[in-house]
Amino acid sequence: LLTDHFLKELSSQYHKPYDGVSRAARRALMSYDWPGNIRQLKNAAERMLVLDTDGILDLDDLPEEIVPVSGPDGDSSYTSDRSGADFLIGRPFSEVERYYIERALDLADGKREEAAKMLGIGERTLYRKLKEYQKQREEQV
């Protein structure tokens, strides 16, 4: 992949190692249209590398135009002109918490242990929250 070439080059240039690119980020990169062609791809790779804080280049490191922000369950009403997670300001804490739990699970490809580590919570806490969300969904039906 061309992205891998750019990342290796940039990693050397910035003296910033990384452990790899997540599957979710690769899917997003491959499904994006790239109207800016190679320059835009190189800029996205550079942004990913520079902004990364955990050594794994993932969706949170991609520019928003490549991975649009949406709320829980893909609710597009969460999307706004604001940047980052600003769209969560003013929302009840339970919605913010649920959004981040679902986002972490997505980033971890559904692996609960990995998602719990990302969130800084125990696996049991994550499991309890997921059960709670499932119960809420069942009550809504």
Report pLDDT digits (tens) over 108-139: 888 899 888 888 889 999 999 999 988 888 88
Count of alpha carbons within 13 angstroms of residue 132, beta-carbon side? 12
Q: Which element (helix H / strand E) includes 65? A: none
- Whether 65 and 29 have beta carbons less than 8 Å apart is answered as no
All domains of the chain in start order, with CATH: 2-61 (1.10.8.60), 72-140 (1.10.10)
Q: pTM for the whole thing?
A: 0.49
Cα(76)–Cα(12) distance, rounded to whole angstroms?
A: 38
